[in-house]
Structure 1
Amino acid sequence: MIHSCPLLRSLTLLLLMAGLTFSCQTRNSSDNTTEQTAALPPAPNFNADSAYAFVARQVAFGPRVPNSAAHVQTGNYLVETLKKYGFTVTEQPFTATTYDGKKLNARNIIGSYNPQASKRIMLASHWDSRPFADADSTQKNSPVPGANDGASGVGVLLEIARVLSQDSTKLSLGVDLVFFDAEDWGNSAVATDAYAGFCLGSQYWAANRHIPNYTAYFGVLLDMVGAKGATFPKEGYSTKNANEVVRNVWTTASQLGYSTYFIDQQGPSITDDHVPVNEIAKFPMIDIIHMQVNNLSQTFFKEWHTTEDDMDTIDPATLKAVGQTLIQVLYNEAQPVI
């Protein structure tokens, strides 16, 4: 209600009243935020240091380029780690043909939690790294270490696997961690197929799912989710094909205090491993991918596709923001609908 005031009342009093109104509004807004956060169902803690160690372990093998010893060793490590945490593991070997005619010995790796559950959520990342640093001015033919572009998403998923394995309450839903292979051999300037030579593993999985007719309530892809100061705008194909999932994840991130990472801004459409899932497997999947906003000269993080994509790019705080958001999303979905 607005009260009229005599002219003899001072401007100071009016300003004081306005200040009190603003204070009340600010307090109410703060209280609402606290109430929203408190209303979230309890979820276990995502350990950023553990996720960082998972990233570092992958990078220590060397570039995970298909047909290399480091690639084989890393794949074996993923399988062993998932089994150690009690996940049912499916290996999906396949031969991929690159845009330039090379044959790759590849394998998708799937770890399933609570495999009997009918309601399932799929979390994914690619685990291979790029064979050539084409964005590097001096070392274009050198392989990329792939700390952020590949290993960061895998590290987040491995930490989620560890967290789920240690939670005594047990989720009522199923979770499938899918590690796509042979994502990063493409060439947008030369390849003529719809995916520009990228996403070979996800295309194969979508057409040959590890369980016939497998489907999920929704999926979330992670790509480049560990760099310092990362920003995740809403990727274009995600909002087109799975906008409700985008809203779910970004709202949860905001409630947890991670809106500086999960920014409320529309981003461009990126051809990534979620596209074959949406188009071929026919269930909604979004992409959490680092894109720079308001930077016309650089779409992704500055070390992208260079030999400098090493552990110096990785910030545990970014891994925490992504991993804790996903864990909260899982525990939100496990709650009964009233």
Structure 2
Amino acid sequence: MKLFRLAPVAVVALLVLTGCPDRTRQESATTPEEPAMRAAPAFNADSAYAFTAKQVAFGPRVPSSPAHATCGDWLVAEFKQMGLTVREQPFEAMAWDGKMLRARNIIAQFAPQAARRVAVFAHWDTRPFADKDKQNPNAPLDGASDGASGVAVALEMARVLSQQSDSTAPAVGVDFILFDAEDYGYDTATQSKLQNKLAAQGTDTWCLGSQYWSKNLLPAGYKPSYGILLDMVGAQNAKFSREQLSREVARDVVDKVWNTAARLGYSDFFLFQDSPGITDDHVYTNQAGVRTIDIIDHLPIGDDYFPAYHHTTQDNMSIIDRRTLKAVGQTVLQTVYAE
């Protein structure tokens, strides 16, 4: 799906950091007494699960398809029903296979008047083909974790925030920004026999929505305190490591999120372990000046970066786990409330 992005210097740093995992865990476990957190409201995992299932029920959300258009309309309506300020950012982009994609980014703002803001990013499209599937490489896929789960966490956060009074709302505004056409990319490992028509232009075939947004910021001049990208955050036994680019550009935010997860009892999901960099939407939000970290399901052992369901027909509702949705949603919600 996305490409490794690890510089030689970073390899050395990664080996140093991961060479003593026990020490890393010990340091995090022996942190001096921490001040009490302002408790966030409960994140409802059942609701997040239902939001995931609803997206999957539309069918594969491939840009330019009827299911994609219908799901996008539903997302906009949901955010509006919750009382958020919603904007749509339509755009067209050519995919690696030459197809012109009709797409749109969706921006929903909670407390748009607040000066201090935090961004929560996700992508809402699905990959058009399960090219890593050994039996059905040309089949469409549901994208239950890869796409729908991140959007579901964003929707449930928005629902919870919309129910708060002035006295129980967080001290910051929150912007939920859903990127389109993230997953219509050229994978050299599975599609090398096909022509990448964007190669001559030197254009990244992934993350088309965030690429467009980064050059056409909406809201204009957007500058939140930081951003959190949610990608593949719903599968059973998900593991989230501290991704390289996230550490390089926003180590304080990485520490904030991972330490919050630990205090909430979710260290079985949020590992105090460093992982190589990945080309994801946060590459382009960072280029736009928004310090962004990536929470992404990553195999902590072995040579493969991604779980077995990645870009296969296995990425359906059968792998979605309410515990994972709860761990991610409650952690990010608590992080926002700590501001």
- State the alpha-carbon separation in 2 of the partners of residues 276 and 232 from structure 1: 20
After TM superposition, the score normalised by the length of structure 2 is 0.86
Q: Distance in 2 between matches of 1:118 and 1:146?
A: 35
What residue is the counterpart of 1:147 in the other structure? Answer: 144
Unaligned runs of 5+ in 2: 1-27, 189-195
1:319 aligns with 2:319: no
Structure 1: distance between partners of 2:255 and 2:203: 26
* CA positional deviation for 1:170: 2.1
CA distance in 2, matches of 1:220, 1:283: 10
Alignment partner, residue 338 of structure 2: 332
Provide the rounded CA distance (Å) in 1 between the counterparts of 2:97 and 2:250.
33
CA distance in 2, matches of 1:271, 1:194: 15
Q: CA deviation at 1:35?
A: 6.7
Structure 2 residue identity aligned to 1:172: A
Q: Is the 8 A contact 1:41 1:331 kept in 2?
A: yes
Letter in 2 for 1:39: A
The answer for the alignment partner of 1:122 in structure 2 is 119
Q: RMSD across aligned C-alpha pairs, in angstroms?
A: 1.8
Does 1:68 pair with 2:65? yes
Correspondence for 1:187: 186
Which runs of no fewer than 5 residues in structure 1 stay unpaired?
Answer: 1-28, 334-338
Aligned partners of 1:199 and 1:155: how far apart in 2?
A: 19
- Tell me which moved more, 50-59 or 301-310: 301-310
Matched, 1:78 2:75: yes
Partner residue of 1:24?
A: none
Match of 2:13 in 1: none
Tell me the CA shift for residue 172 of structure 1: 2.6
Matched-pair contact (CA < 8 Å) for 1:195–1:271: no
Whether 1:239 and 2:247 are equivalent positions in the alignment is: yes
Which deviates the most, 287-296 or 187-196?
187-196
Equivalent AA in structure 2 for residue 147 of structure 1: A
- Equivalent-residue separation in structure 2 for 1:130 and 1:229 (angstroms): 22
Percent identical among aligned pairs is 52
- Helix, strand or coil at the partner of 2:275: coil
SS of residue paired to 1:294: coil
State the 1:40 CA deviation.
1.1
**Equivalent position SS for 1:39:** coil
User: For the residues of structure 2 that align with 1:154 and 1:187, how far apart are their CA atoms?
Assistant: 23
1:251 aligns with 2:259: yes
Cα deviation digits, residues 101-139 of structure 1 (max 9, x gap) = 210000000000110111110001000000011001121
* Cα distance change, pair 34–144 in 1 and its aligned pair in 2 (3 A): farther
Cα distance between partner residues in 1 of 2:221 and 2:175: 14
Partner of 1:6: none
Does residue 302 of structure 2 align to residue 295 of structure 1? Answer: yes
2:240 counterpart SS class: coil
The alignment covers a number of residue pairs equal to 301
Q: Which amino acid aligns with 1:124?
A: F
Indicate which of 273, 282, 287 corresponds to 1:274.
Answer: 282
- Give the alignment partner of residue 284 of structure 1, picking from 274, 291, 298: 291
Residues in 1 aligned to 2:86 and 2:66: alpha-carbon distance in whole angstroms: 21
Please list the CA deviations of residues 37-60 of structure 1 after superposition, one character each: whole Å capped at 9, or x if unmatched: x81112100000000000000000
C-alpha distance in 2 between matches for 1:139 and 1:186: 18
305, 320, 324: which is aligned to 2:311? Answer: 305
Secondary structure of the 2:109 match is strand
Query: Residue 300 of structure 1: CA displacement?
Result: 1.2
Q: Which has the higher contact order (CA 8 A, sep 6+)?
A: 2
Corresponding residue for 1:203? 211
Which residue does 1:23 correspond to in 2? none
The answer on 1:45 being equivalent to 2:63 is no
| Cα deviation 1:195-241 (Å, max 9, x = unaligned) | 74100000101110112211110000000001111100001111111
- Is the alpha carbon distance of 1:271 and 1:194 closer, same or farther for their aligned partners in structure 2, counting shifts above 3 Å? farther
